[in-house]
Amino acid sequence: MRPPPLWPLLLLLHLRAAAPADSPSQLPAPRNPKIWLYNTEQVLSWEPGSLSHEVGPVVYQVQFKYPSSREWSDVTVSSVGVNCSKISVTECDFTPTSLSRGFLRYFNVSLRVRAELPGLPGHASAWASVPWFQHYRNVTIGPPGHVWVTPGEGSLVIKLSAPFNIADPSMVTFLYYVHYWEKARNPQVKGPFRDSSIVLRDLQPLSEYCLQVQAHLLWKSQDLSRLGRLSNVSCHVTSADASTKLQRVVLVAVATFLSLAGLAGACVFLILRFRGLIKYWFHSPPGIPAQIEEYLKDPAQHMLEALDQESPAEDDAWESVSEVSSSEQEQRALSRAEGAPATL
Ligand SMILES: *[C@@H]1O[C@H](CO)[C@@H](O)[C@H](O)[C@H]1NC(C)=O
Ligand SMILES: *[C@@H]1O[C@H](CO)[C@@H](O)[C@H](O)[C@H]1NC(C)=O
Ligand SMILES: *[C@@H]1O[C@H](CO)[C@@H](O)[C@H](O)[C@H]1NC(C)=O
Ligand SMILES: *[C@@H]1O[C@H](CO)[C@@H](O)[C@H](O)[C@H]1NC(C)=O
Protein backbone atom coordinates (compact mmCIF):
# COMPACT_ATOMS: atom_id res chain seq x y z
CA MET A 1 0.00 0.00 0.00
CA ARG A 2 1.45 3.42 -0.98
CA PRO A 3 1.80 5.93 1.85
CA PRO A 4 -0.38 9.03 1.47
CA PRO A 5 1.32 12.09 -0.09
CA LEU A 6 1.41 13.90 3.24
CA TRP A 7 3.57 11.20 4.79
CA PRO A 8 7.01 12.79 4.06
CA LEU A 9 5.96 16.07 5.61
CA LEU A 10 4.67 14.27 8.71
CA LEU A 11 7.96 12.38 8.94
CA LEU A 12 9.89 15.62 8.76
CA LEU A 13 7.78 17.23 11.48
CA HIS A 14 8.30 14.14 13.55
CA LEU A 15 12.09 14.31 12.99
CA ARG A 16 12.10 17.95 14.04
CA ALA A 17 10.15 17.30 17.18
CA ALA A 18 12.07 14.20 18.19
CA ALA A 19 15.64 15.32 17.58
CA PRO A 20 17.51 18.37 18.77
CA ALA A 21 17.98 20.86 15.91
CA ASP A 22 21.74 20.21 15.60
CA SER A 23 21.51 16.40 15.60
CA PRO A 24 22.21 15.17 12.07
CA SER A 25 21.50 11.51 12.79
CA GLN A 26 17.85 11.33 11.73
CA LEU A 27 18.22 11.43 7.94
CA PRO A 28 19.17 8.01 6.57
CA ALA A 29 22.86 7.86 5.63
CA PRO A 30 24.04 6.97 2.10
CA ARG A 31 24.55 3.23 1.71
CA ASN A 32 27.36 1.09 0.24
CA PRO A 33 29.90 3.83 -0.37
CA LYS A 34 32.64 2.56 -2.69
CA ILE A 35 35.81 3.97 -4.15
CA TRP A 36 36.59 2.88 -7.72
CA LEU A 37 40.29 3.02 -8.54
CA TYR A 38 41.12 1.86 -12.07
CA ASN A 39 44.22 3.14 -13.87
CA THR A 40 43.86 6.90 -13.33
CA GLU A 41 40.16 6.80 -12.43
CA GLN A 42 39.13 7.78 -8.90
CA VAL A 43 35.37 7.69 -8.35
CA LEU A 44 33.47 7.61 -5.07
CA SER A 45 29.89 6.33 -5.43
CA TRP A 46 27.07 5.41 -3.04
CA GLU A 47 23.38 4.58 -2.93
CA PRO A 48 20.67 6.81 -1.44
CA GLY A 49 19.66 6.07 2.15
CA SER A 50 16.57 3.89 2.45
CA LEU A 51 14.14 6.76 3.12
CA SER A 52 15.82 9.69 1.45
CA HIS A 53 13.75 9.53 -1.74
CA GLU A 54 10.62 9.87 0.40
CA VAL A 55 11.69 12.83 2.47
CA GLY A 56 12.19 14.88 -0.69
CA PRO A 57 15.25 15.86 -2.69
CA VAL A 58 18.42 15.40 -0.70
CA VAL A 59 21.90 16.64 -1.54
CA TYR A 60 25.19 15.06 -0.63
CA GLN A 61 28.31 16.43 0.93
CA VAL A 62 31.65 14.67 0.39
CA GLN A 63 34.65 15.29 2.65
CA PHE A 64 38.26 14.11 2.60
CA LYS A 65 41.10 13.90 5.10
CA TYR A 66 44.82 13.15 4.99
CA PRO A 67 46.45 11.51 8.06
CA SER A 68 48.50 14.68 8.62
CA SER A 69 45.42 16.87 9.02
CA ARG A 70 43.11 16.76 12.05
CA GLU A 71 40.04 18.18 10.31
CA TRP A 72 37.93 16.89 7.46
CA SER A 73 37.63 19.21 4.45
CA ASP A 74 34.81 19.64 1.95
CA VAL A 75 35.56 18.40 -1.55
CA THR A 76 35.33 21.61 -3.58
CA VAL A 77 36.81 23.01 -6.76
CA SER A 78 39.41 24.89 -4.76
CA SER A 79 40.42 21.96 -2.52
CA VAL A 80 40.49 18.95 -4.87
CA GLY A 81 39.40 20.36 -8.22
CA VAL A 82 35.81 19.03 -8.30
CA ASN A 83 32.62 20.28 -6.76
CA CYS A 84 31.14 17.56 -4.55
CA SER A 85 29.37 19.91 -2.15
CA LYS A 86 25.55 19.91 -2.09
CA ILE A 87 25.38 17.67 -5.15
CA SER A 88 22.29 15.67 -6.05
CA VAL A 89 24.07 12.86 -7.96
CA THR A 90 25.29 9.80 -6.05
CA GLU A 91 28.91 9.89 -7.16
CA CYS A 92 31.93 12.13 -6.98
CA ASP A 93 34.51 11.75 -9.76
CA PHE A 94 38.03 12.82 -8.76
CA THR A 95 39.70 11.44 -11.90
CA PRO A 96 42.38 13.91 -12.99
CA THR A 97 41.43 15.85 -16.11
CA SER A 98 42.62 19.09 -17.58
CA LEU A 99 40.32 20.80 -15.05
CA SER A 100 40.63 18.69 -11.91
CA ARG A 101 43.81 17.31 -10.39
CA GLY A 102 42.29 14.54 -8.26
CA PHE A 103 44.15 13.10 -5.28
CA LEU A 104 47.88 12.62 -5.67
CA ARG A 105 48.42 8.93 -6.24
CA TYR A 106 50.69 8.31 -3.29
CA PHE A 107 48.54 10.28 -0.80
CA ASN A 108 46.75 8.39 1.97
CA VAL A 109 43.14 9.56 1.55
CA SER A 110 40.07 8.99 3.70
CA LEU A 111 36.65 9.91 2.30
CA ARG A 112 33.18 10.24 3.76
CA VAL A 113 29.78 11.35 2.48
CA ARG A 114 26.44 12.30 4.05
CA ALA A 115 22.99 13.32 2.91
CA GLU A 116 21.58 16.76 3.71
CA LEU A 117 18.22 18.42 3.25
CA PRO A 118 18.91 21.50 1.15
CA GLY A 119 16.23 23.72 2.61
CA LEU A 120 16.76 22.66 6.21
CA PRO A 121 20.28 23.40 7.43
CA GLY A 122 21.30 21.19 10.30
CA HIS A 123 19.33 18.25 8.99
CA ALA A 124 21.89 15.81 7.76
CA SER A 125 22.49 12.09 7.90
CA ALA A 126 25.33 10.28 9.62
CA TRP A 127 28.56 10.01 7.67
CA ALA A 128 29.21 6.96 5.54
CA SER A 129 32.94 6.25 5.06
CA VAL A 130 35.11 4.18 2.76
CA PRO A 131 38.33 2.70 4.08
CA TRP A 132 41.43 4.86 3.60
CA PHE A 133 43.25 4.31 0.32
CA GLN A 134 46.40 5.19 -1.53
CA HIS A 135 45.87 5.18 -5.28
CA TYR A 136 49.06 3.23 -6.08
CA ARG A 137 48.36 0.73 -3.27
CA ASN A 138 44.71 0.02 -4.04
CA VAL A 139 44.41 0.65 -7.78
CA THR A 140 43.32 -2.01 -10.27
CA ILE A 141 45.76 -1.94 -13.18
CA GLY A 142 44.26 -2.44 -16.61
CA PRO A 143 45.94 -4.31 -19.46
CA PRO A 144 48.66 -2.52 -21.47
CA GLY A 145 47.03 0.22 -23.53
CA HIS A 146 48.18 -1.20 -26.88
CA VAL A 147 50.07 -4.33 -27.82
CA TRP A 148 51.74 -4.45 -31.25
CA VAL A 149 53.29 -7.75 -32.31
CA THR A 150 55.64 -8.18 -35.29
CA PRO A 151 56.62 -11.77 -36.19
CA GLY A 152 60.38 -12.16 -36.48
CA GLU A 153 62.78 -14.98 -37.38
CA GLY A 154 61.76 -17.66 -34.90
CA SER A 155 60.78 -14.80 -32.61
CA LEU A 156 58.06 -12.28 -31.85
CA VAL A 157 58.77 -8.59 -31.37
CA ILE A 158 56.29 -7.02 -28.96
CA LYS A 159 55.83 -3.30 -28.46
CA LEU A 160 53.36 -2.06 -25.88
CA SER A 161 52.13 1.09 -24.23
CA ALA A 162 51.69 1.46 -20.48
CA PRO A 163 48.18 1.03 -18.99
CA PHE A 164 48.40 4.69 -18.00
CA ASN A 165 50.97 7.46 -17.74
CA ILE A 166 52.94 7.63 -14.55
CA ALA A 167 53.67 11.18 -13.48
CA ASP A 168 56.46 10.25 -11.04
CA PRO A 169 58.53 7.48 -12.71
CA SER A 170 61.31 7.71 -10.13
CA MET A 171 58.85 6.44 -7.52
CA VAL A 172 56.70 4.03 -9.47
CA THR A 173 57.38 1.95 -12.59
CA PHE A 174 55.69 -0.67 -14.70
CA LEU A 175 57.18 -4.12 -15.30
CA TYR A 176 55.78 -6.37 -18.01
CA TYR A 177 55.24 -10.12 -18.19
CA VAL A 178 54.43 -12.02 -21.37
CA HIS A 179 52.29 -15.16 -21.20
CA TYR A 180 52.64 -17.14 -24.42
CA TRP A 181 51.91 -20.59 -25.75
CA GLU A 182 52.05 -22.61 -28.90
CA LYS A 183 48.73 -24.14 -29.97
CA ALA A 184 47.81 -27.04 -27.63
CA ARG A 185 50.86 -26.49 -25.40
CA ASN A 186 51.15 -25.20 -21.84
CA PRO A 187 51.51 -21.46 -21.39
CA GLN A 188 54.89 -20.05 -20.43
CA VAL A 189 55.64 -16.75 -18.74
CA LYS A 190 58.60 -14.49 -19.51
CA GLY A 191 59.51 -11.42 -17.51
CA PRO A 192 59.84 -9.08 -15.84
CA PHE A 193 60.72 -6.68 -18.66
CA ARG A 194 61.37 -3.04 -17.81
CA ASP A 195 61.27 -1.94 -21.42
CA SER A 196 58.05 -1.53 -23.37
CA SER A 197 59.78 -3.23 -26.31
CA ILE A 198 60.17 -6.99 -25.84
CA VAL A 199 61.59 -9.76 -28.03
CA LEU A 200 60.53 -13.39 -27.45
CA ARG A 201 63.38 -15.47 -28.87
CA ASP A 202 64.04 -19.15 -29.53
CA LEU A 203 60.56 -19.85 -30.87
CA GLN A 204 59.84 -22.47 -33.52
CA PRO A 205 60.00 -20.90 -36.99
CA LEU A 206 56.76 -20.86 -38.98
CA SER A 207 54.64 -21.76 -35.93
CA GLU A 208 51.59 -20.06 -34.45
CA TYR A 209 51.97 -18.56 -30.97
CA CYS A 210 49.32 -16.85 -28.87
CA LEU A 211 50.17 -14.32 -26.20
CA GLN A 212 48.88 -12.01 -23.50
CA VAL A 213 50.78 -9.22 -21.83
CA GLN A 214 50.40 -8.07 -18.24
CA ALA A 215 51.73 -4.98 -16.50
CA HIS A 216 52.85 -4.94 -12.88
CA LEU A 217 53.02 -1.69 -11.00
CA LEU A 218 56.09 -1.48 -8.80
CA TRP A 219 56.11 1.06 -5.95
CA LYS A 220 59.71 0.85 -4.83
CA SER A 221 59.71 2.74 -1.53
CA GLN A 222 56.68 0.75 -0.29
CA ASP A 223 58.02 -2.53 -1.68
CA LEU A 224 54.63 -2.91 -3.26
CA SER A 225 53.68 -4.62 -6.51
CA ARG A 226 50.21 -4.55 -8.09
CA LEU A 227 49.33 -7.11 -10.71
CA GLY A 228 47.60 -5.76 -13.81
CA ARG A 229 44.96 -7.33 -16.00
CA LEU A 230 45.96 -9.48 -18.96
CA SER A 231 45.67 -8.03 -22.44
CA ASN A 232 43.40 -9.73 -24.97
CA VAL A 233 44.80 -12.89 -26.55
CA SER A 234 46.44 -12.33 -29.92
CA CYS A 235 48.01 -15.02 -32.13
CA HIS A 236 50.88 -14.71 -34.62
CA VAL A 237 52.89 -16.96 -36.91
CA THR A 238 56.65 -16.64 -36.61
CA SER A 239 58.59 -16.19 -39.83
CA ALA A 240 61.38 -18.50 -41.02
CA ASP A 241 64.44 -18.51 -38.77
CA ALA A 242 67.94 -17.39 -39.69
CA SER A 243 69.25 -20.70 -41.10
CA THR A 244 66.20 -21.19 -43.35
CA LYS A 245 66.60 -17.60 -44.48
CA LEU A 246 70.33 -18.10 -45.11
CA GLN A 247 69.55 -21.11 -47.28
CA ARG A 248 67.14 -18.99 -49.29
CA VAL A 249 69.65 -16.16 -49.61
CA VAL A 250 72.36 -18.57 -50.78
CA LEU A 251 70.00 -20.15 -53.31
CA VAL A 252 68.99 -16.77 -54.69
CA ALA A 253 72.65 -15.67 -54.86
CA VAL A 254 73.71 -18.85 -56.69
CA ALA A 255 70.81 -18.59 -59.12
CA THR A 256 71.61 -14.94 -59.79
CA PHE A 257 75.29 -15.74 -60.34
CA LEU A 258 74.51 -18.61 -62.69
CA SER A 259 72.12 -16.59 -64.82
CA LEU A 260 74.57 -13.67 -65.00
CA ALA A 261 77.36 -16.06 -66.00
CA GLY A 262 75.10 -17.58 -68.69
CA LEU A 263 74.25 -14.14 -70.01
CA ALA A 264 77.91 -13.13 -70.13
CA GLY A 265 78.78 -16.40 -71.93
CA ALA A 266 76.08 -15.80 -74.50
CA CYS A 267 77.35 -12.26 -75.08
CA VAL A 268 80.93 -13.48 -75.58
CA PHE A 269 79.74 -16.17 -78.01
CA LEU A 270 77.70 -13.69 -80.02
CA ILE A 271 80.60 -11.22 -80.14
CA LEU A 272 82.98 -13.89 -81.39
CA ARG A 273 80.48 -15.27 -83.87
CA PHE A 274 79.58 -11.91 -85.43
CA ARG A 275 82.83 -10.01 -84.90
CA GLY A 276 83.08 -8.85 -88.51
CA LEU A 277 79.54 -7.62 -88.62
CA ILE A 278 79.92 -5.75 -85.35
CA LYS A 279 83.12 -4.08 -86.58
CA TYR A 280 81.34 -3.06 -89.75
CA TRP A 281 78.49 -1.49 -87.77
CA PHE A 282 80.76 0.35 -85.40
CA HIS A 283 83.46 1.59 -87.81
CA SER A 284 81.65 2.37 -91.08
CA PRO A 285 81.48 6.14 -91.70
CA PRO A 286 78.02 7.57 -92.08
CA GLY A 287 78.19 8.25 -95.87
CA ILE A 288 77.74 4.64 -96.94
CA PRO A 289 75.39 5.20 -99.91
CA ALA A 290 77.75 7.72 -101.61
CA GLN A 291 80.67 5.35 -101.11
CA ILE A 292 78.73 2.48 -102.55
CA GLU A 293 77.87 4.65 -105.55
CA GLU A 294 81.54 5.45 -106.15
CA TYR A 295 82.44 1.84 -105.58
CA LEU A 296 80.02 0.85 -108.31
CA LYS A 297 81.70 3.34 -110.71
CA ASP A 298 85.23 2.09 -110.07
CA PRO A 299 85.10 -1.10 -108.04
CA ALA A 300 88.82 -1.95 -108.00
CA GLN A 301 90.18 1.39 -106.81
CA HIS A 302 87.53 2.02 -104.21
CA MET A 303 87.87 -1.45 -102.87
CA LEU A 304 91.53 -0.71 -102.18
CA GLU A 305 90.78 2.68 -100.65
CA ALA A 306 88.12 1.17 -98.46
CA LEU A 307 90.49 -1.55 -97.38
CA ASP A 308 93.12 1.07 -96.58
CA GLN A 309 90.72 2.96 -94.36
CA GLU A 310 89.31 -0.08 -92.66
CA SER A 311 91.72 -1.68 -90.21
CA PRO A 312 95.23 -2.92 -89.39
CA ALA A 313 94.28 -6.44 -90.49
CA GLU A 314 93.55 -5.19 -93.98
CA ASP A 315 96.67 -2.97 -93.83
CA ASP A 316 98.65 -6.15 -93.20
CA ALA A 317 96.97 -7.71 -96.20
CA TRP A 318 97.91 -4.70 -98.34
CA GLU A 319 101.50 -4.83 -97.05
CA SER A 320 101.74 -8.48 -97.91
CA VAL A 321 100.43 -7.68 -101.38
CA SER A 322 103.15 -5.04 -101.81
CA GLU A 323 105.70 -7.48 -100.42
CA VAL A 324 104.57 -10.04 -102.94
CA SER A 325 104.84 -7.53 -105.74
CA SER A 326 108.24 -6.29 -104.54
CA SER A 327 109.59 -9.85 -104.32
CA GLU A 328 108.30 -10.44 -107.87
CA GLN A 329 110.22 -7.37 -108.98
CA GLU A 330 113.34 -8.64 -107.20
CA GLN A 331 112.97 -11.99 -108.91
CA ARG A 332 112.69 -10.30 -112.28
CA ALA A 333 115.74 -8.13 -111.55
CA LEU A 334 117.62 -11.22 -110.44
CA SER A 335 116.77 -13.18 -113.55
CA ARG A 336 117.86 -10.20 -115.69
CA ALA A 337 121.15 -10.04 -113.80
CA GLU A 338 121.78 -13.76 -114.45
CA GLY A 339 121.31 -13.12 -118.12
CA ALA A 340 118.29 -15.29 -118.38
CA PRO A 341 115.71 -14.35 -121.01
CA ALA A 342 113.18 -11.97 -119.55
CA THR A 343 110.30 -13.72 -121.19
CA LEU A 344 109.42 -17.28 -120.52
C1 LIG B 1 46.55 5.79 6.12
O2 LIG B 1 45.81 6.52 7.09
C3 LIG B 1 45.06 5.72 7.98
C4 LIG B 1 44.31 6.64 8.94
O5 LIG B 1 44.01 7.84 8.35
C6 LIG B 1 45.98 4.81 8.76
O7 LIG B 1 45.21 3.97 9.60
C8 LIG B 1 46.76 3.97 7.78
O9 LIG B 1 47.69 3.16 8.48
C10 LIG B 1 47.50 4.87 6.82
N11 LIG B 1 48.15 4.00 5.86
C12 LIG B 1 49.43 4.11 5.51
C13 LIG B 1 49.95 3.14 4.54
O14 LIG B 1 50.15 4.94 5.98
C1 LIG C 1 28.34 22.53 -6.68
O2 LIG C 1 27.32 21.84 -7.38
C3 LIG C 1 26.03 22.02 -6.86
C4 LIG C 1 25.07 21.14 -7.62
O5 LIG C 1 25.40 21.07 -8.97
C6 LIG C 1 25.63 23.49 -6.92
O7 LIG C 1 24.37 23.66 -6.36
C8 LIG C 1 26.69 24.28 -6.15
O9 LIG C 1 26.40 25.65 -6.23
C10 LIG C 1 28.05 24.03 -6.66
N11 LIG C 1 29.02 24.70 -5.81
C12 LIG C 1 29.96 25.47 -6.30
C13 LIG C 1 30.90 26.07 -5.29
O14 LIG C 1 30.09 25.67 -7.49
C1 LIG D 1 43.67 -0.29 0.38
O2 LIG D 1 44.59 -1.30 0.71
C3 LIG D 1 44.79 -1.48 2.12
C4 LIG D 1 45.75 -2.59 2.36
O5 LIG D 1 46.59 -2.77 1.31
C6 LIG D 1 43.47 -1.81 2.80
O7 LIG D 1 43.66 -1.89 4.19
C8 LIG D 1 42.46 -0.74 2.48
O9 LIG D 1 41.21 -1.08 3.02
C10 LIG D 1 42.31 -0.58 0.99
N11 LIG D 1 41.41 0.50 0.70
C12 LIG D 1 40.31 0.31 -0.03
C13 LIG D 1 39.47 1.50 -0.26
O14 LIG D 1 40.02 -0.77 -0.48
C1 LIG E 1 39.59 -6.84 -25.77
O2 LIG E 1 38.46 -7.50 -26.30
C3 LIG E 1 37.23 -6.91 -25.92
C4 LIG E 1 36.10 -7.74 -26.50
O5 LIG E 1 36.54 -8.83 -27.15
C6 LIG E 1 37.16 -5.48 -26.44
O7 LIG E 1 35.96 -4.89 -26.03
C8 LIG E 1 38.33 -4.70 -25.87
O9 LIG E 1 38.33 -3.40 -26.41
C10 LIG E 1 39.63 -5.39 -26.20
N11 LIG E 1 40.70 -4.70 -25.53
C12 LIG E 1 41.75 -4.22 -26.17
C13 LIG E 1 42.77 -3.54 -25.34
O14 LIG E 1 41.89 -4.33 -27.37
d(CA 174, CA 166): 9
Give residue 46's pLDDT: 97
Strands (E), the chain: 31-38, 41-47, 59-65, 73-74, 85-87, 91-93, 108-116, 128-134, 147-152, 155-160, 172-182, 188-193, 197-200, 208-219, 224-230, 234-237
Nearest CA to ligand 3 atom 2: 138
Q: How far is the CA of 64 from the centre of ligand 1 (A)?
A: 13
Give residue 30's pLDDT: 95
Q: Which ligand minimizes its atom distance to the CA of 135?
A: 3
pTM of the model: 0.67
Q: Is the CB of 138 under 6 A from ligand 3?
A: yes
The preferred substitution site among 106, 107, 132, 138 for testing ligand 1, maximizing ligand atoms within 8 Å of CB, is 132
Give residue 1's pLDDT: 44
Nearest CA to ligand 2 atom 12: 83
Give residue 25's pLDDT: 47
Give residue 101's pLDDT: 83
Walk along the chain (344 residues) and give the pLDDT tens digit of each residue: 444 444 444 444 444 444 444 444 478 999 999 999 999 999 999 999 887 556 778 999 999 999 999 999 999 999 999 999 999 999 999 999 887 788 999 999 999 999 998 877 778 999 999 999 999 999 999 999 999 999 998 999 999 999 999 988 899 999 999 999 998 889 999 999 999 999 999 999 999 999 999 999 999 999 999 999 999 999 999 998 667 767 777 888 888 878 888 888 887 878 788 777 777 776 655 555 666 556 556 656 655 555 555 544 444 444 444 444 445 555 555 555 454 444 44
